[in-house]
């Protein structure tokens, strides 16, 4: 497979070379607006004939503004430090016998993503910056745009490290190529991510559901609590980092819930409240247990009154999808307990769950948000696309010398 060779070439290229390729792609996109527009128009026309939803049409449209921001994104990738060759550990095993663990690209990554053509440019840029070859399978609605973009990128930066595939059958082929592809990153519905995991031996970084919660502690500042709850729920309800569940300490409930109720009514948020919460939220629907396991992704939420912070932590352990969970509190002790016990990718104190995002975290662009615990967790930036190698430099050392009763022993001195 040619990509394997391309991966080898690009993994040993210099920082400067990869930056120059990124800038070439940015320039090529800028000069190809006409061709891109034609291809995108064809996709939009097909989509309209098929009756695609307006929200999806909007995502499919690769407007001049989106091209601008894609170009901007590629330029910003150049400003991030080179992810290749970072010395992660350095240890002297014995005088002059030096071991280093150094970051290195994973190799060939397959990304399967939704219709947005801007995602293609971003993912190609991240792969190139991190020295990885990439196979891109975009949504079929964007077929013409994606093909054109891969073509422009290949012409500007070489075709041996990037491959666009188009059909659904290609996905099955990709998932079977465990000798050639090192990592699969599917972006899509939970069902799709599970399908991918079930049909491949290749490691998968999954971007699954977000059932995020905000716990409002006994000691919370009431104004702050309502502000954070409102932002977590309403700032962009369709995002995976929006809150679905609010847990309120019983001693805070009489102050918090009437205010929260007023805000939610005002903003059109439908509330499903348990029997203790509904006393303060008379317009709410009585909750059923399932409501606390739901990702609403809309202006709906579930509210529950808890008797203690421990009950909140237990509720989160049982019902959260371990994406992002936040506490609002003025107590250092409550924060400490929450941070110690809540095993989610992102654990926040006194801020909105909506901050769970690679850009806001300062990771540069993001590949997605992983709710898995292996390799990468939470927002995944360039470092999630890296592995490492152990480099050992000696002067003729043999294991025989270090064996047996009279053998030499290691001194294992940390150098960083």
Helices 15-31 and 33-49 pack at an angle, to 10 degrees, of 70
Site string for a copy of itself, 228-257 (x = CB under 8 A): x-xx---xx---------------------
Tokens 């060759």, located at residue:
85
* CB-CB contact of 203 with 184 (8 Å): yes
Nearest to 321 by CA among 341, 303, 307, 342: 342
- HSE of 5, CA atoms in CB hemisphere, 13 A: 5
Residue 174 in the binding site for a copy of itself (CB under 8 A): no
Shortest separation between residue 286's beta carbon and a copy of itself, angstroms:
29
Tokens of 40: 């995108």
3-state SS class at 55:
helix
Integer Cα distance of 147 and 125 in angstroms: 16
Residue 373 interacting with a copy of itself (CB under 8 A): yes
Contact 25, 124 (CB under 8 A): yes
- Give bridge partners of residue 108 from the DSSP assignment: 133
Using rule CB under 8 A, residue 259 touches a copy of itself = no
Quote the DSSP letter at residue 401. Answer: G
Q: Confirm or reject binding of residue 395 to a copy of itself (CB under 8 A).
A: yes
Task: Point out which span in 56-64, 276-284, 296-304, 389-397 binds a copy of itself (CB under 8 A).
Answer: 389-397
Judged by CB under 8 A, does residue 99 bind a copy of itself?
yes
77 binds a copy of itself (CB under 8 A): no
Q: What is the CB-side half-sphere exposure of residue 361 using CA atoms within 13 A?
A: 21
Q: Is 118 in the site for a copy of itself (CB under 8 A)?
A: no
Site track for a copy of itself across 294-323, x = CB under 8 A: -----------------------x------
| Residue 278 CB, nearest approach to a copy of itself (Å) | 26
Minimum CB–partner distance for residue 40 and a copy of itself (Å): 26
Binding window for a copy of itself (CB under 8 A); candidates: 62-70, 156-164, 282-290, 371-379: 371-379
> Is 213 among the residues that bind a copy of itself (CB under 8 A)?
no
> Quick check: 72 binds a copy of itself (CB under 8 A)?
no
| Tokens of residue 397, six digits | 């050392």
Angle at 403 between CA 397 and CA 404, to 5 degrees: 150
By CB under 8 A, the residues from 340 to 359 that bind a copy of itself are: 340-341, 343-352, 354-356
75 is an interface residue for a copy of itself by CB under 8 A: no
Q: Which one of 16-24, 56-64, 112-120, 334-342 is the stretch in contact with a copy of itself (CB under 8 A)?
A: 334-342
What is the enclosing helix (H) or strand (E) of 328?
strand 324-328
Q: Which of 91, 147, 276, 294 binds a copy of itself (CB under 8 A)?
A: 91
Residue 335 lies near a copy of itself (rule: CB under 8 A): yes
189 binds a copy of itself per the rule CB under 8 A: no
- Of 25 and 220, nearer to a copy of itself (C-beta) is 220
| Residue 166 near residue 200, CB atoms below 8 Å | no
Which secondary-structure segment (H or E) carries 99? strand 97-105
């Amino acid at each position: 497979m040619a990509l394997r060779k391309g991966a080898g070439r690009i993994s040993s290229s210099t920082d400067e070379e990869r930056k120059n390729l990124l800038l070439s792609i940015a320039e090529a996109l800028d000069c190809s607006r006409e061709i891109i527009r034609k291809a995108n128009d064809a996709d939009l026309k097909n989509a309209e004939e098929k009756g695609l939803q307006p929200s999806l049409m909007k995502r499919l449209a690769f407007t001049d503004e989106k091209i601008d921001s894609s170009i901007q994104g590629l330029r910003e990738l150049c400003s991030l430090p080179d992810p290749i060759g970072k010395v992660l550990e350095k240890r002297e095993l014995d005088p002059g016998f030096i071991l280093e663990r150094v970051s290195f690209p994973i190799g060939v990554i397959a990304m399967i993503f939704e219709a947005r053509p801007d995602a293609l440019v971003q993912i190609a840029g991240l792969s190139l910056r991190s020295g990885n070859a990439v196979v891109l399978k975009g949504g079929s609605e964007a077929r013409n745009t994606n093909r054109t973009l891969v073509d422009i990128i290949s012409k500007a930066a070489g075709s041996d490290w990037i491959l666009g595939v188009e059909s659904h059958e290609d996905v099955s082929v990709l998932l079977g190529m465990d000798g050639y592809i090192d990592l699969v990153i599917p972006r899509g519905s939970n069902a799709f991510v599970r399908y991918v995991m079930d049909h491949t031996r290749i490691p998968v970084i999954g971007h699954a559901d977000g059932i995020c919660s905000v716990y409002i502690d006994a000691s919370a500042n009431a104004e702050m609590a309502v502000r954070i709850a409102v932002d977590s729920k309403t700032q962009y309800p369709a995002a995976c980092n929006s809150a679905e569940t609010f847990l309120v300490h019983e001693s805070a409930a009489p102050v918090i819930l009437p205010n929260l109720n007023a805000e939610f009514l005002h903003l059109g948020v439908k509330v499903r409240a348990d029997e203790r919460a509904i006393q303060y939220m008379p317009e709410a629907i009585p909750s059923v247990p399932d409501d606390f396991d739901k990702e609403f992704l809309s202006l709906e939420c579930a509210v529950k009154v808890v008797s203690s912070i421990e009950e909140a932590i237990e509720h989160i352990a049982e019902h959260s999808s371990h994406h992002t969970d936040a506490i609002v509190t003025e107590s250092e002790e409550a924060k400490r307990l929450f941070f110690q016990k809540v095993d989610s990718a992102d654990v926040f104190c006194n801020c909105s769950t909506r901050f769970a995002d690679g850009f806001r975290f300062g990771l540069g662009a993001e590949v997605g948000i992983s709710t898995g615990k292996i390799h990468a967790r939470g927002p995944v930036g360039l470092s999630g696309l890296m592995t490492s190698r152990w480099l050992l430099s000696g002067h003729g050392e043999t294991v025989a010398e270090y064996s047996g009763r009279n053998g030499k022993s290691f001194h294992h001195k940390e150098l960083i």
